[in-house]
Amino acid sequence: MNELDLHKVGVRGINSQLHSLPKNTNEKHWVIQNPRGQHSIAVGLDAPLQIDIRGHVGFYCGGMNKDAELTIHGHAGVGTAENMMSGVVWVKGNSSESAGATGNGGLLVIEGDASSRCGISMKGIDIVVGGSVGHMSAFMAQRGNLIVCGDAGDALGDSIYEARLYVKGKVASLGADCIEKEMRAEHLADLERLLKAAKRKEKPSDFRRYGSARKLYNFSVDHADAY
């Protein structure tokens, strides 16, 4: 295990060290101490590292992550794991707005609550939220899975494309072109796999599925009132 103290080396020192590691490095496990809510910690990682961040982080922690497995032992700010490509980002606490925004792949687990716009424009990432998500979550979500073990705020899945949304609790309201859909065996299997990966105890059969009605995919003046 290697240790980096943000108080001593700053965000630049941490990212510079982690970026300098070759993909086949033997120094895989890193602990970041004293993150102090700073922004852009462990962004742009491109190697199969295991990173433990001991405290709260600010904006964009794990942004554009590839291959690395990050655990944030605290709360996270805006845009956690934004545009993630692969790997895992695991938040032990809560996460602020736009968690997993535009993520292309990998797994984002938020054990607590996520704020508004969780999974906005997601492009293939899987997101599991142990608590609830705020309004406009999965806005224009293109691909991937958003699993919410608690409740969802207003306008869930507004203008959604092909992403799949699963909510165990209440949904305050659905956004434009987002509807409840049939839960088939393939969806239950997906849910089981992702809940297991996120170490959740919920049963897949307790969730309801939401997705696109696909009525707004091609602009028609007859749908102008929907926007």
Interface residue list for other proteins (CB under 8 A): 11-12, 15-16, 19, 39-40, 43-44, 46, 58-60, 63-64, 66, 78-79, 82-83, 85, 97-98, 101-102, 104, 117, 120-121, 123-124, 139-140, 142-143, 159, 161-162, 217-219, 221
CB-wise, 19 or 196, nearer to other proteins?
19
What is the CB neighbour count within 10 angstroms for residue 49?
22
Q: Please, what is the minimum distance in Å from the beta carbon of residue 43 to other proteins?
A: 5
CB-wise, 71 or 121, nearer to other proteins?
121
CB-wise, 199 or 217, nearer to other proteins?
217
Q: Please, what is the minimum distance in Å from the beta carbon of residue 82 to other proteins?
A: 5
What is the CB neighbour count within 10 angstroms for residue 10?
13
Q: Which residue has the tokens 């295991």?
A: 50
Q: Please, what is the minimum distance in Å from the beta carbon of residue 200 to other proteins?
A: 25
Nearest residue to 64 via CA among 108, 23, 16: 108
CB-wise, 204 or 212, nearer to other proteins?
212
Cβ 66 vs Cβ 49: under 8 Å: no
Q: Which amino acid is at 191?
A: L
Lookup: tokens for 207: 């969730």
Pairing label, strands 208-212, 164-167: antiparallel
CA 169 vs. chain centroid, Å, equals 18
CB-wise, 80 or 200, nearer to other proteins?
80
Q: Please, what is the minimum distance in Å from the beta carbon of residue 164 to other proteins?
A: 14
Q: Please, what is the minimum distance in Å from the beta carbon of residue 22 to other proteins?
A: 15
- Taking only Cα atoms into account, the Rg of the chain, rounded to an integer number of angstroms, comes to 18
CB-wise, 124 or 130, nearer to other proteins?
124
Q: Please, what is the minimum distance in Å from the beta carbon of residue 36 to other proteins?
A: 15
User: To 10 degrees, the CA torsion angle through 138, 140, 142, 146?
Assistant: 0
Indicate the burial class of 4 (C-beta count within 10 angstroms; 0-12, 13-18, 19 or more).
Answer: buried
